[in-house]
């Protein structure tokens, strides 16, 4: 792909860059999106049956088993060239902030040093009652594991429908968006709030906004550059054009 020379030049000089990634990045690693994963046994359930606090209180074993299945799938998944390209950017840019809506941990697996996980992480669990994270738990038991501190039921450490994003992570993401010179929106629809507002915050502060997505989104008209295709192809090419090397 031929990237505009002025973009390549700008990126080479940029010292503060932020990137937001969504499900499209992980889909290239073979991971289905949340709703796509509801096949077979799970096809009969609505998202509200599996991803809300009310659903967990109603049937904690159903919800625990659903997430245990997804956790196993994610554990076997591998980062794709897009993940590695972003890790490469982090090594080359003085202040690079990677923000993700994904809960699969593939950015960390690819070597990105600091990742803001807005929606949590499937590989972590915490207590439904006291919120304390559990380092270990009985994954083979017939019932939902309990917190060693308070005895409450353990749940996946992800953000469910109806829950607020973790405050510290959201504040860090907003700060990065407002302070960056370049903002990437990658593999995300640009409609899920509050994550979707980050690109607009960056745009309003004068940042260059770059979209990498399979198809146009509501954000596209506000972007300075929009590249439509697989991030696993576009991002490594961009890194090579801007900084050289062979990322991804």
Model pLDDT, residue 44: 66
Give, rounded to a whole angstrom, the gap between the first and last alpha carbons of the chain. Answer: 15
Residue from 160, 4, 131 nearest 67 by CA: 160
Tell me, yes or no, whether 114 and 193 share the same domain.
Answer: yes
Q: Is 209 within a domain?
A: yes
Tell me, yes or no, whether 205 and 84 share the same domain.
Answer: yes
Q: Is 42 within a domain?
A: no
Name, in order, each residue with C-beta under 8 angstroms of 198's C-beta and a sequence gap of 6 or more. 18, 20, 99, 173, 174, 177, 183
Of 104, 135, 158, which one is at a domain's C-terminal end?
158
User: Quick one: pLDDT band at residue 142, thresholds 50, 70, 90?
Assistant: confident
Residue from 120, 128, 148 nearest 64 by CA: 128
| C-alpha–C-alpha distance, residues 49 and 149, integer Å | 28
CATH number of the domain to which 232 belongs = 3.40.50.1220
Model pLDDT, residue 172: 98
Note whether 134 and 147 are within 8 A (CB).
Answer: yes
What's the gap between Cα 73 and its chain centre? 16
Q: Is 5 exposed, middle or buried (0-12, 13-18, 19+ CB in 10 A)?
A: exposed
User: Quick one: pLDDT band at residue 3, thresholds 50, 70, 90?
Assistant: very high
Tell me, yes or no, whether 228 and 131 share the same domain.
Answer: no
Tell me, yes or no, whether 130 and 216 share the same domain.
Answer: no
Model pLDDT, residue 99: 98
Q: Is 44 within a domain?
A: no
Tell me, yes or no, whether 58 and 112 share the same domain.
Answer: no
Model pLDDT, residue 248: 52
Tell me, yes or no, whether 214 and 138 share the same domain.
Answer: no
Of 158, 181, 211, which one is at a domain's C-terminal end?
158
Q: Which residue has the higher pLDDT, 106 or 38?
A: 106
Tell me, yes or no, whether 205 and 239 share the same domain.
Answer: yes
Q: Is 135 within a domain?
A: yes
- Domain count for the chain, please give it: 2
Residue 188 is part of which domain span?
1-31+78-119+165-248
State the Cα angle at 98 between 96 and 101, rounded to 5°. 165
Tell me, yes or no, whether 174 and 110 share the same domain.
Answer: yes
Of 102, 130, 158, which one is at a domain's C-terminal end?
158
Q: Is 7 within a domain?
A: yes
pLDDT digits (tens, 9 = 90+) for 152-208: 999 999 999 999 999 999 999 999 999 999 999 999 988 888 888 999 999 999 999
| C-alpha–C-alpha distance, residues 126 and 99, integer Å | 21
Tell me, yes or no, whether 146 and 243 share the same domain.
Answer: no
User: And the tokens for 244?
Assistant: 């050289």
The one catalytic residue in 107, 119, 200, 228 is 119
Q: Which of helix, strand or coil describes residue 32?
A: coil
Judged against a pLDDT cut of 80, whether residue 246 lies above it is answered with: no
Instruction: Tell me if the bond preceding 84 is cis, omega within 30° of 0.
Output: no
Q: Is 59 within a domain?
A: yes
Beta bridge mates, 236:
none
Q: Is 43 within a domain?
A: no
Tell me, yes or no, whether 5 and 85 share the same domain.
Answer: yes
Tell me, yes or no, whether 197 and 127 share the same domain.
Answer: no
Statement: the pTM of the whole predicted model exceeds 0.85? yes
User: And the tokens for 7?
Assistant: 């973009």
Note whether 104 and 144 are within 8 A (CB).
Answer: no
User: Quick one: pLDDT band at residue 101, thresholds 50, 70, 90?
Assistant: very high
Across the chain, what does the average pLDDT equal?
A: 92
CATH number of the domain to which 146 belongs = 3.30.1600.10
Tell me, yes or no, whether 86 and 128 share the same domain.
Answer: no
Q: Is 119 a catalytic residue?
A: yes
């Amino acid at each position: 792909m031929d990237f505009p020379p002025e973009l390549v030049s700008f990126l080479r000089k940029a010292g503060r860059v932020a990137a937001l990634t969504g499900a499209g990045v992980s889909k290239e690693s073979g991971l289905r999106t949340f709703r796509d994963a509801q096949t077979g046994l799970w096809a009969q359930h609505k998202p509200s049956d599996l991803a809300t606090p009310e659903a967990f209180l109603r049937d904690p074993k159903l919800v625990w088993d659903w997430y245990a299945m997804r956790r196993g799938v994610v554990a076997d998944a591998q980062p794709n060239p897009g993940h590695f390209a972003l890790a490469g950017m982090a090594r080359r840019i003085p202040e690079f902030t990677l923000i993700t809506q994904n809960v699969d941990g593939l950015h960390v697996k690819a070597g990105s040093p600091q990742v803001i996980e807005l929606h949590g992480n499937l590989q972590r669990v915490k207590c439904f009652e006291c919120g304390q994270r559990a380092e270990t738990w009985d994954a083979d038991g017939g019932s939902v594991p309990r917190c060693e501190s308070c005895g409450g039921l353990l749940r996946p450490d992800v953000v469910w429908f109806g829950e607020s994003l973790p405050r510290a992570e959201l504040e860090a993401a907003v700060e990065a968006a407002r302070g960056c010179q370049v903002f990437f929106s990658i593999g995300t629809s640009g409609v899920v709030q509050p994550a979707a507002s980050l690109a607009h915050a960056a745009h309003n502060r004068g940042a260059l906004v770059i979209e990498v997505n399979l198809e146009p989104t509501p954000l596209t008209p506000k972007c300075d550059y929009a590249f439509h295709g697989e991030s696993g192809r576009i991002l490594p090419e961009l890194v090579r054009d801007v900084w050289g090397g062979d990322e991804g």
